[in-house]
Amino acid sequence: MKSAREAIVFVLDSNVVYQRVTAQYLQVAGIRSVIVFSDPDKMYLSLKLCPDVLITEYLFNKNVIRGRQILSKVREISPATDIYFHTALRDVDTAVDAMHSGAVDYIVKSSTALDELVRKIIKRLQYRDSLGRSKKSLRRLIGYIGIAILAMAGMVMVYSLF
């Protein structure tokens, strides 16, 4: 699993200024690979890079494209990507629907929202990284147990160099 420094983050927002501010916040937090998009179709073409995180607004292109459409398309192409909605839309039903559809979080844009968003992304990336290390250790342990069981059954010879 990638560390926060190695993570690839896509920012999809129709407001170019907000894209840049979000990218700067992420880079200051230590995330090096931040790619910004203002067009969902161009972002879809780049999903083969398998981004770790996508930050997007919910209503796109004057309500023509909705977050749920973006979410389902991203899930189809890159299912491991964590999707965060960072939007001006303050609607509880929409937020609940987004979360039920698989979004990691739904954060309403405000003066402190970017700090909160970056903090949550870093925390999630650290969790995924530690989970990946734990799985690797568990697989190694299971392998050792399997060898020990086979050795006890006399099926393999185990030699220790220690």
What pLDDT score was predicted for residue 75?
A: 92
pTM (predicted TM-score): 0.74
Which of the residues in the chain have pLDDT under 70? 1-2, 62-64, 132, 134, 137-138, 141, 143-144, 146-162
What pLDDT score was predicted for residue 162?
A: 44
Nearest of 42, 43, 24 to residue 34 by alpha carbon: 24
Q: Is residue 149 part of a domain?
A: no
Which 8-state DSSP code applies to residue 16?
Answer: H
Q: Is residue 96 part of a domain?
A: yes
- Distance between start and end Cα atoms, the chain: 32
CATH of the domain at 117: 3.40.50.2300
Work out how many domains the chain is built from and give that number. Answer: 1
Q: Is residue 19 part of a domain?
A: yes
What pLDDT score was predicted for residue 159?
A: 52
Q: Are 34 and 27 within 8 A, CB to CB?
A: yes
Q: Is residue 157 part of a domain?
A: no
Q: Is residue 82 part of a domain?
A: yes
Q: Is residue 145 part of a domain?
A: no
Q: Which residue range(s) make up the domain with 75? A: 4-134
What pLDDT score was predicted for residue 161?
A: 46
What pLDDT score was predicted for residue 105?
A: 94
What pLDDT score was predicted for residue 63?
A: 67
Q: Is residue 122 part of a domain?
A: yes
Tell me the C-alpha distance between 1 and 21, whole Å. 27
Q: Count other C-beta atoms under 10 Å from residue 114's C-beta.
A: 20
Q: Is residue 154 part of a domain?
A: no
* Helices then strands, each counted (H, E), the chain: 5, 7
- pLDDT averaged over the chain? 83
